[in-house]
Structure 1
């Protein structure tokens, strides 16, 4: 394909990503418009609502200004000031990143992949700006800067990572971008390069394992608190349509709940309002929003407390043990135990950075007053993750010999000697 065709396809991919993201939010609003509001609401309000949800889900904050009648209807204090909402339903962010990955893979298969990446990101950013401007309203006003940049950063991250990964794997001819990245990599000392790779790989493994454990734990907690969740649904009297909308919203926030659970597992915990704390050591909450899924939250003191920290400790130890033999082989005794221990510390740091960033993006403000602080603290979660995973990873790296004998090496790490191959034949 020529450059123009590649550019047009990249632009089309970006437009589809924006359209589908907004469409996911628009469909339930159309159902409400037809079934509940009897087509009496202006269609432009539905569009603004869909764009608001999409930009919020991709990291933009909303400035909410309630009129007097609505404040009275909701039972809020008459003196309530305009407030920010920034608690993002991360299902939209995940969708944006996955669309970026898809676009990056498609771009990487073209000879003009650099241009395709740039065009797709620019078009996505331009469309994000236009839809954000179209949703501005005195009552609900998304941030223009965040509404433009936050979705674009997520999309661009998926595009760039996917394109570089595929090009590195399948490069057959000279490529100035990849050759430059390889030259930059080669400047890193050979003795420390395996340590860095092991730290990155082990930290990613530990973070993925923590999220996997958190996902299972979230499912078990919801199943155990199913009765309380149903009771809250019934007491709120949402009705069939309202119940479906609330359940759909809870599903959009399910990735947030998994990250909150991961923060809880590592010991950092999370908050449902200013001055509250939900952690393995105990739960301290006041009145919480009438969101049915929150009925599954634990209450009172925990019976096992710090015992839950065995989970990140085991994950950190296992990650180090899995990667230790390969690292010892690549170092071949250079640096002795010191470099192995540095790799263990690096595993903890990388896992802490990943979990800290995820915790930060999963938290935010959910309303006025004490609801300005909902979710885990990124710094606290990152510290607890780095400490528990890192200490265990250091122990795992130290639990074995510095040198790996030839007969103990993994088969894929070395070629068999001619004599050995002849004997096997």
Structure 2
């Protein structure tokens, strides 16, 4: 396919991604605006509000400033007149990255992944700049370069990952194919190590995220009364309850990031000097947001057993890698002193690389799920990326090492012994 056409298709993808993200904010905000303020209301603030919510969802920090009348209207104390809001509802960023990944993969299939990635990223930068210059807002301010660079980086990273994954699997006739040819030229089991490390990290991360999602579902079941109670205390009508529910829905990936850190063990904060972890919960006053009713009132030593779930995810990754390596050894058994020998070094590298990848992804989830959610002590919220990365890395390493470094089973050992005996008899 001609590169100009590839660029145009990639640009169209970026436009669709940007418009969908903005429409998801603008549509419910418009309905809320109509039903609360009426059609005769001043519409000048609708687009700036939409733009700022979209920017926050794409990881752009907001600086909020309230005057005395606004503080009185929303019931905030004087110290809340100015504060940063950086805890992002990164469902918007996740959608943009996934959409961009599909666009990047399609560009590779069309024959020019670089063209597609660059075109989509450039158009996203233009959209972000246009949103910035048309959305002056005295209530919520942004740093201009962040408002352009961060949404662009989200889309560009997604497109690049999608293009690389497609090129690795299907070939691109260029850099990726050259790299694969070099790796395929490695001896024995080493040629499988890079792909096994990536697949193992993906298996481990999928297992941990699945366990976190299950923990979140259990919390919803066990703490539903507390959530409903906070909804009732808010004293909102059906329209207000719908708006609150939608706002909480876009924060679902952020809550999932909190759940990942809880399952891993370090837990997370909901304000300065607070912690929510399996070992215990220490909370002061928290905002009356209904979804925060899911927070457990206390921990338990028994809940520390949830840390076995990341270990199990690492074991699943190790089992997969061991099966692939075993098949490789059977087809081309390495020899040591003339006898079949199962090398240890590739297994160690796969176990360590799997743990590093899983820890890095967990750290990214924690970083995306942390920030400031309000003034004062609420400026600290979410998990500590370093602690989560260390915990997940060690837990996954333990599980993967158990499966990858365990001795061969009795049957395999017996087969090797029989082969050695047969060779001795023939001599």
Is the TM-score greater than 0.5? Answer: yes
In structure 2, relative to structure 1, the CA distance for the partners of 1:402 and 1:223 (3 Å cut) is: closer
Distance in 2 separating the partners of 1:300 and 1:271? 14
Q: Deviations over 1:123-156 (max 9, x none)?
A: 1112112212322323211232222122222212
Counterpart secondary structure, 1:64: strand
Alpha carbons of structure 1 residues 196 and 112: separation in structure 2 relative to 1, 3 Å? closer
Deviation at 1:59, TM superposition (A): 0.7
Structure 2 counterpart of 1:272: 270
More displaced, 293-302 or 192-201?
Answer: 192-201
Q: Which moved more, 1:72-81 or 1:157-166?
A: 72-81
Match of 1:143 in 2: 143
Which SS does the other structure have where 1:245 is aligned? helix
- Report what 1:302 is aligned to: 300
How far apart are the structure 2 equivalents of 1:47 and 1:285?
37
2:277 and 2:299 in contact (8 A); partners too = no
Distance in 2 separating the partners of 1:185 and 1:149: 35
Task: Go from structure 1 to structure 2 and tell me whether the alpha carbon gap of 1:36 and 1:162 turns closer, same or farther (over 3 Å shift).
Answer: same
Name the Cα RMSD after superposition: 2.6
Q: Cα distance, 1:327 vs. partner?
A: 2.4
Q: Which residue of 2 aligns with 1:356?
A: 363
Cα deviation for residue 301 of structure 1 reads 3.3
CA contact (8 A) 1:33 1:40 kept: no
Confirm or deny: 8 A CA contact 2:203 2:316 kept in the other structure: no
Write the distance in 2 (CA, Å) between the matches of 1:150 and 1:106: 23
Aligned residues of 1:336 and 1:402 also touching (Cα < 8 A):
no
1:2-401 maps to which residues of 2 (within 5 A)?
2-171=2-171, 175-182=173-180, 185=183, 192-302=190-300, 304-330=302-328, 332-333=333-334, 336-401=343-408
State the shift of 1:366 in Å: 0.7
SS at match of 2:37: coil
Cα pair distance change 1:370/1:404, threshold 3 Å: farther
Q: Deviations over 1:97-118 (max 9, x none)?
A: 1210232233223234432221
Residue segments in structure 2 that go unaligned for 5+ positions in a row: 335-340, 416-427
Which digits, 9 at most, give the CA deviation of each residue in 1:180-210, with x for residues without a partner?
4446756978764433332222122111111
Q: Please report how far the alpha carbon of residue 335 of structure 1 lies from its aligned counterpart in structure 2 after TM superposition.
A: 7.8
Which 5+ residue runs of structure 1 have no aligned equivalent?
409-425
Structure 1 residues 322 and 185: CA distance shift in structure 2, 3 A:
closer
> Structure 1 301/4 Cα, relative in aligned 2: closer, same or farther at 3 Å?
closer
Query: CA 1:79–1:112 in structure 2 vs 1: closer, same or farther (change >3 Å)?
Result: closer
Quote the Cα distance in structure 1 between the aligned partners of 2:314 and 2:59. 30
- Distance across 1 between alignment mates of 2:177 and 2:197: 24
Contact 2:26 2:47 in 1 (8 A): yes
Q: Secondary structure at the match of 1:109?
A: helix
Q: 1:187 to 1:134 in 2, by over 3 A?
A: farther
Check the 8 A contact 1:325/1:404 in 2, yes or no.
no
Give the stretch that moved more between structures: 37-46 or 21-30. 37-46
Instruction: Please report how far the alpha carbon of residue 404 of structure 1 lies from its aligned counterpart in structure 2 after TM superposition.
Output: 10
User: Does the C-alpha gap of structure 1 residues 363 and 40 become closer, same or farther in structure 2, counting only changes over 3 Å?
Assistant: farther
1:341–1:181: structure 2 CA closer, same or farther, 3 Å change rule? closer
Segment of structure 1 superposing worse, 277-286 or 230-239? 230-239
Q: Matched residue of 2:25: which SS?
A: helix
Question: What CA distance in whole angstroms lies between the structure 2 residues aligned with 1:322 and 1:407?
Answer: 23
Residues 320 and 396 in structure 1, CA contact (< 8 A), matched pair in contact too: yes
Partners of 2:350 and 2:168 in 1: CA distance: 24
Name the TM-score, length of structure 1 as normaliser: 0.88
Single out whichever of 336-345 and 182-191 deviates more from structure 2. 182-191
Cα shift at 1:75: 3.4
CA deviation map 1:373-408 (0-9, x unaligned): 111111111111011111222122122329996999
Shift of 1:79: 4.1
| Partners of 2:413 and 2:13 in 1: CA distance | 50
